[in-house]
Each structure stands twice: as structure tokens, then as C-alpha cells.
């Protein structure tokens, strides 16, 4: 008998056998999140996307809290305490449904909750984290400003001490979950350097106009944060960090989730392309029977599963406490760029149907335009890697 007779069959859904890397508990978490997204997002998301809304976001947040997806890799305070790999698998399954849903979860867990968990006082953690883990309170994270994006060290939002209080003034732009949030983690310049503040969104002087007319992440809430003499008590400041390393460490955690999530959007588009290629006939045969289509599918599969392998490797490093920010940049740069390429190639295989919301590929492709830009643009991650490779800072 030849050695190949003992080989497991080739699985088109897992051509590299990457599921071998997963424990039963990892698979169970993945199945739970996949099942939730199949029930609660996939049947509706094209409609939400077309209308440019995310109706019932509070209910969705509570359900996501119910399956442990909010602040998933954090410990205590009602959080699931999952591994980084498990959190990554959840991000992949959520983004396979829609990047907007994964963004809701990333901003809640990796940005707002992570900031409070890592840099907050015990009182701040008790006040916010259990209700954020259950989805009762939605959080947002305000770093970007109308004139300040890639260079957050130049931010203008300012917090000034006034007796025992802080008074916050400024504007934040492009803030995911902004107008549905109960708490906003806002980063502001102070006389002591950049500080983070846990701002209750019902504070006087705080408003959140929603940003409309987006052609990407349409099933996601994006808002401005306007702060006009917002008076906060002394204990609103996150006590454990001063300086840009605060927001940057939160971003590194969120970017890690994107490394996995982008592959979810890619997987969904790839699967749509394979299905279509097998059933659509031209010139008397399925288009999947043409070598040019097969070359596209083979290249897409190679990049998709290489990307998942890379995400898994980074997850293991994070679980071992050995993941460097430059490695996260490596992952985000590669996986979002490749995911968008996979979606665009899938779009070509679907021909004219590729532009229809009847299929997910154009929705994923346009969503990924935001993912390519937020949490550090492609160019920022190239500069991070360029600096790490050469020792020369080319940011300015």
C-alpha cells in the first residue's frame, strides 16, 4: 500500500489542514460564533448595507455579549478570558459575515474595553467592564480628529484641569459606535501629555453627530464626537498611562483582530467565487473549468490560507506574550491587502453579478477599503516595518 493511501482526504475548505492547529474548545468557539452570524447577520446584512444602517445594534451587542464575544480575550469583570487564537477565530467568523459587525466587536473589546482594562482604575473597571462585556453598554474609542489621522501625536483635543475637574474640548472624527455608545474612551492632550478619559456619553457638552454618505462599512455606526466644555470629575482620567503608548497599545490589540478578520471577508468572497465558478456556464461549460478561472481560484486559496496561517502564528505569539507591534503591522499589512485582492478577483469571476448585493463580494471589497485605512493605513504599516528593518525612521 502506498503512503498516500493513508493520507486524509483533501479538504477544499481547509486545504492546508490548519484545523489540526486548533483544540476542541477553539473549534467550539468558532462554531458558536459562525452559527450566531449565520442566524443573526447573514440573512439581513445586505439589506442593512443597502440602507446604510445597523438596526437593533443594542440587541446585537447583547447577543454578542451572551456568546462571550465582547472583551473576549480579557480576564475578569464578566469577560470570557479566551485565548488570543480563540478571539482571532471569532473575528474571522464575524467578518466573514460583515466587516461592520467585526468592527463593532473590535472597537468594543480591543479598543474601549481594553483601554479601561489595561489603564483604568479599579473603580472604572467595576463601573464599565461588566456592562460592556454583557453588551448592555456599548463603547467607542476616539483618537482620530478631522485634521489628524495617521499622526495622532499632533492631536488638538485638549483636557484642562479646573480645580478637581477636567474640562474637555475638541472633535473626534470617524468614530465607530460613536452615537450608540454609553461610554467613549477619548484621548486628549493635557499639560502632562496625552491622557485617556472614560467619558459618559450623556455628559453635558458631549454630542455625536452620525457620519452619513459612506460607501464602505455601511452596516456600521460611524460618528463624530464633539466635545464642547465637557466637565469631567478627576476620576474620569485613565490613571495608568500617559503618552501615545496608551492609544497605540490598544490599536495593536485591535489590529491583531483585523489580521484574522480580514481573512473572514476573503473566505466569504472566495467561497462565493468557487460556487459561482462551478455553476455558471459559458461557451458550453462551467467557467470553473477554464484554466484562467482555476488559476485565479488557486492563487486566492493560496493567499487565503497563508493569511490564516500567519494569523494563527501571530495568535500563538500573543498567547505566549511574545507578539511585537511590528509583527502585528506585518500581519495587518499582508492580510488586509491580500483580502481586498481576493475580493476583487472574486468579483471578476462573478462577472456582472459580482457588483450585485445578491452576492457578498462587492460588499466585502468595499468594506475592506475602510479596513485598509483604519487602525493604521497600509503606508503606516510599511513605515513601521521599514523602520524595524533599517533602523531609520521615515515617518517625517
Ligand X SMILES: Cc1cc2nc3c(=O)[nH]c(=O)nc-3n(C[C@H](O)[C@H](O)[C@H](O)COP(=O)(O)OP(=O)(O)OC[C@H]3O[C@@H](n4cnc5c(N)ncnc54)[C@H](O)[C@@H]3O)c2cc1C
Q: Which residues are catalytic?
A: 375
Q: Among 377, 385, 386, 387, which residue interacts with ligand X (rule: CB under 6 A)?
A: 377
* CB closer to ligand X out of 135 and 376: 376
The 10 Å Cβ neighbour count of residue 65 is 24
Binding to ligand X by residue 49, rule CB under 6 A?
A: no
Smallest separation (angstroms) from ligand X to the CB of 299: 26
- The site map against ligand X for 277-306 (x = CB under 6 A) is ------------------------------
Specify burial of residue 316 (Cβ count, 10 A radius: 0-12, 13-18, 19+). middle
> Which residue from 45, 69, 168, 175 is in contact with ligand X, where contact means CB under 6 A?
175
Q: Is 176 in the site for ligand X (CB under 6 A)?
A: yes
Q: Which DSSP state fits 172?
A: E
State yes or no: residue 186 binds ligand X (CB under 6 A): no
Residue 392, CB-side half-sphere exposure with 13 Å CA sphere: 2
52 binds ligand X (CB under 6 A): no
Q: Smallest gap, in angstroms, from Cβ of residue 351 to ligand X? A: 28
**Among residues 174, 260, 270, 330, which is the contact residue for ligand X, using CB under 6 A?**
174
When asked if residue 365 is in the footprint of ligand X (CB under 6 A), the reply is no
CA distance 104 to 45: 14
Name which position in 370, 372, 381, 384 contacts ligand X (CB under 6 A). Answer: 370
**Does residue number 215 form part of the binding site for ligand X (CB under 6 A)?**
no
379: contact with ligand X by CB under 6 A: yes
Q: Binding of ligand X at residue 366 (CB under 6 A)?
A: no
Which residue number, 26 or 145, has a Cβ lying nearer to ligand X?
145
249 lines the binding site for ligand X (CB under 6 A): no
- Closest-approach residue to ligand X (CB): 149
336 contacts ligand X (rule: CB under 6 A)? no
Instruction: Specify the residue for cell string 486548533.
Output: 22
The reply to whether 256 sits near ligand X by the rule CB under 6 A is no
**What is the DSSP secondary-structure string of 185-241?**
EEEEEETTEEEEEEEETTSTTEE-PBP---SSSTTS-EEEEEEEEEEE-GGGB-TT-
Does position 205 interact with ligand X (CB under 6 A)? The reply is: no
The residue written with cell numbers 485613565 in the block is 238
Q: What is the helix, strand, coil percentage profile of the chain, to 5? A: 55, 15, 30
What are the Cα distances from residue 117, in Å, to 1, 108, 123, 215? 57, 12, 11, 33
* Binding piece for ligand X, criterion CB under 6 A, among 8-16, 173-181, 285-293, 349-357: 173-181
* Distance between CA atoms of residues 227 and 235, nearest Å: 18
380 interacts with ligand X by CB under 6 A? yes
Q: Is 373 in the site for ligand X (CB under 6 A)?
A: yes
Residue 134 beta carbon to ligand X: minimum distance, rounded to whole angstroms: 21
First-last CA distance in the chain: 64
CB of residue 4 to ligand X, shortest distance in Å: 48
Which residues inside 130-159 make contact with ligand X, applying CB under 6 A?
141-144, 149-150
- The number of beta carbons lying within 10 Å of the beta carbon of residue 387 is 15
Question: Strands, DSSP E only, in the chain?
Answer: 139-142, 158-162, 165-176, 183-190, 193-200, 206-207, 222-232, 281-282, 285-286
Q: Name the grid cell of 161.
A: 484641569
Of 30-38, 273-281, 294-302, 374-382, which segment contacts ligand X by CB under 6 A? 374-382
Residue ranges that bind ligand X, judged by CB under 6 A: 107, 141-144, 149-150, 174-176, 217, 222, 370, 373-375, 377, 379-380, 395
Amino acid at each position: 500500500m502506498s503512503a498516500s493511501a493513508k493520507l486524509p482526504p483533501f479538504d477544499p475548505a481547509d486545504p492546508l489542514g490548519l484545523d489540526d492547529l486548533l483544540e476542541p474548545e477553539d473549534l467550539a468557539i468558532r462554531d458558536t460564533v459562525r452559527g450566531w452570524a449565520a442566524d443573526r447577520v447573514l440573512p439581513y446584512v445586505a439589506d442593512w448595507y443597502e440602507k446604510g444602517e445597523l438596526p437593533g445594534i443594542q440587541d446585537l451587542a447583547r447577543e454578542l455579549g451572551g456568546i462571550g464575544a465582547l472583551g473576549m480575550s480579557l480576564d475578569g469583570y464578566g469577560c470570557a478570558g479566551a485565548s488570543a487564537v480563540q478571539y482571532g477565530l471569532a473575528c474571522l467568523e464575524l467578518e466573514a459575515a460583515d466587516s461592520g459587525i467585526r468592527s463593532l466587536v473590535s472597537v468594543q473589546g480591543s479598543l474601549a474595553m481594553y483601554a479601561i482594562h489595561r489603564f483604568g482604575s479599579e473603580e472604572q473597571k467595576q463601573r464599565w467592564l461588566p456592562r460592556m462585556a454583557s453588551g448592555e453598554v456599548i463603547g467607542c474609542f476616539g483618537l482620530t480628529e478631522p485634521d489628524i489621522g495617521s499622526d495622532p501625536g499632533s492631536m488638538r483635543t485638549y483636557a484642562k484641569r479646573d480645580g478637581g475637574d477636567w474640562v474637555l474640548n475638541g472633535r473626534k472624527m470617524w468614530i465607530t459606535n460613536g452615537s450608540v455608545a454609553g461610554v467613549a474612551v477619548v484621548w486628549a492632550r493635557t499639560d502632562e501629555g496625552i491622557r485617556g478619559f472614560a467619558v459618559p456619553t450623556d455628559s453635558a457638552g458631549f454630542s455625536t453627530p452620525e457620519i452619513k454618505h459612506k460607501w464602505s462599512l455601511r452596516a456600521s455606526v460611524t460618528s463624530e464626537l464633539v466635545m464642547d466644555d465637557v466637565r469631567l470629575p478627576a476620576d474620569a482620567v485613565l490613571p495608568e498611562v500617559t503618552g501615545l503608548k496608551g492609544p497605540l497599545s490598544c490599536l495593536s490589540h485591535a489590529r491583531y483582530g483585523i489580521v484574522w478578520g480580514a481573512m473572514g471577508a476573503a473566505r466569504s468572497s472566495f467561497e462565493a467565487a468557487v460556487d459561482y465558478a462551478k455553476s455558471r456556464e459559458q461557451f458550453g461549460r462551467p467557467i470553473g473549468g477554464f484554466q484562467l478561472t482555476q488559476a485565479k481560484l488557486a492563487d486566492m486559496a493560496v493567499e487565503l490560507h497563508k493569511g490564516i496561517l500567519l494569523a494563527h502564528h501571530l495568535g500563538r505569539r500573543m498567547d505566549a506574550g511574545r507578539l511585537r507591534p511590528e509583527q502585528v503591522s506585518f500581519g495587518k499589512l499582508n492580510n488586509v491587502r491580500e483580502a481586498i485582492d481576493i475580493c476583487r478577483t472574486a468579483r471578476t469571476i462573478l462577472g456582472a453579478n459580482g457588483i450585485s448585493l445578491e452576492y457578498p463580494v462587492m460588499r466585502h471589497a468595499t468594506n475592506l477599503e475602510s479596513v485598509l485605512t483604519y487602525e493604521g493605513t497600509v503606508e503606516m504599516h510599511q513605515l513601521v516595518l521599514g523602520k524595524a528593518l533599517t533602523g531609520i525612521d521615515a515617518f517625517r
